[in-house]
Amino acid sequence: MSTSNLTKWLYFGLEVKRWLFVLLIGVVIMALGFAYILREVYVSYTFPEWVGTLTLQFMPRWSRGLLFITVAAGLTLYGAWRLNTSVVSALLPAERRDDLVEQIYSNRTQGRGPKIVAIGGGTGLSMLLRGLKKYTSNLTAVVTVADDGGSSGLLRRDMHVIPPGDIRNCIAALADAEPLVTKLFQYRFDEHAGEGIAGHSFGNLFIVAMSEVTGSMEIAIRETSRVLAVRGSILPSTLADIALSAHLEDGRTVHGESEIPYAGSPVKDVYIEPASAPVNPDVVRAFREADLIVLGPGSLYTSIMPNLLVRGLSDALLASNAHKVYISNVATQHGETDGYNAAEHYAAIRRHLGGVDVVNVVLANSNIPGEAFPDEWQSTPVLAPGDADYGGARLVLADLVSSELRYRHDSEQLAAAVMRQYFERDLRVFADAAAAAVAPTNEVAAP
């Protein structure tokens, strides 16, 4: 560890300076005690002449005092530096030693961050969480358990557990463990792995195995999160075994979350079975304590909606006093939201919840590419017209997309835009009230 890193222990928020000050006071008091004893010995005992030379009696007292203070300060700093290096080298691998102070600082400051609940599933939710964990560790991810495809679907049918796929993605996104461990958790066995294991993710198998060992998926999620040093918590929206179905515009009904995008007809509405599946009580508690609740991004009908349809969840969401933001997707999803704009995404949520206003802000992407997406993507950018109906929500535009993948959110830009809405919420409420008192308008907010 470099000497420059030693000064970082003086960062505000580390809760270290107060104890260094207490230590300094203790050393000073001890030094005063020794000084009193030495003075008493000095006046009551006659020392040999060489002792005067050794103790620099030929120098003025003020210069001796400055010299002793300088030497003491140097020895103290050197000792602290060597102690710091010794402790850190014993606790952390070489490649992470210079990051210790930053880690402590981040943990201290993020622990005082706002309580945020994010609702969704798939890659969209994990993308959001990866950005938000830089602002706060008080994160709760509420994930859908309606997934019935791929590795999660196989484990769900064979092991009779809630699907672990979205839970795994959230754990990987919030993990503060070694990058290699996180990469291992996301590793997927290919067809060469042999029948029975091919196609499965190591993380899915790990979580299911942990549920067998602990006897509960809830405990399994907590223990897995502890092993990977997850910042926050991951909660299934319900612990019941639910299935997602959809009514299509052509009159057909499709059963199964993985079948809906390939049904060949626009989705009219979706529903879960059993409809009486109760909300996870921990989710209700998280809503009650939340400062900010975020819906999306993610597949509208197969990631976000299955959470909102769980009995009791929407009631708890609407009853929460938290600031609420819906993040519109940046690109349409073939088979689910073909041709949808941001207002139509949010309108579908309101329609499924009885037409009530759900959020305070609809956050949409303003960086629309000039060229069309390739035909094989079967997708178009999601537009956010300012004159569309957003109910009682405010439309906020911001650059949310990755410069490399224009149909994907950028985690850092997305998290920054979300946090900006949270920190400016009171100012916006005041501005809205003032504007409404003069001349009510329907303007689109600037990013």
CA atoms lying within 13 Å on the CB side of residue 384? 29
Q: 12: pLDDT confidence band, cut at 50, 70 and 90?
A: low
* Per-residue confidence band for 404, with pLDDT thresholds at 50, 70 and 90: confident
* Side-chain half-sphere CA neighbours of 133 within 13 A: 21
More confident residue, 268 or 112: 268
Domain 111-144+237-438 in CATH 3.40.50.2000? The answer is no
Q: Has residue 310 got a pLDDT over 70?
A: yes
Locate the domains of the chain by residue range: 3-108, 111-144+237-438
Asked if 163 and 147 touch (Cβ cutoff 8 Å), the reply is: yes
**What tens digit of pLDDT does each residue of 131-153 get?**
999 899 899 999 999 999 888 98
Please give the pLDDT value at position 446: 47
Nearest alpha-carbon partner for 306 in 364, 241, 358: 241
Residue at 167: amino acid letter: I
Among 269-273, 351-355, 372-376, the minimum mean pLDDT is found in: 372-376
pTM exceeding the 0.85 threshold for the entire prediction: no
- Across the chain, what does the average pLDDT equal? 85
Structure token digits, residue 340: 């949808």
Ranges 42-56, 108-122, 425-439, most confident:
108-122
Phi/psi-derived region of residue 108, left when phi > 0, alpha when psi is between -120 and 50, beta in every other case: alpha
**Residue-wise pLDDT tens digits, 32-49:** 888 888 778 877 877 787
Count CA atoms within 13 Å of residue 372 on its CB side.
Answer: 7
Q: Using one digit for the tens of pLDDT, what is the confidence trace for 190-199?
A: 877 767 788 8
Which has the higher per-residue pLDDT, 19 or 197? 197
The rounded distance, in Å, linking the Cα atoms of 357 and 346 is 10
Confidence of residue 447 (pLDDT cuts 50, 70, 90): very low
How would residue 180 be classed by pLDDT, with cut points 50, 70 and 90? confident
Mean per-residue pLDDT for 154-177? 90
Question: Residue 56 is encoded by which pair of tokens?
Answer: 């620099």
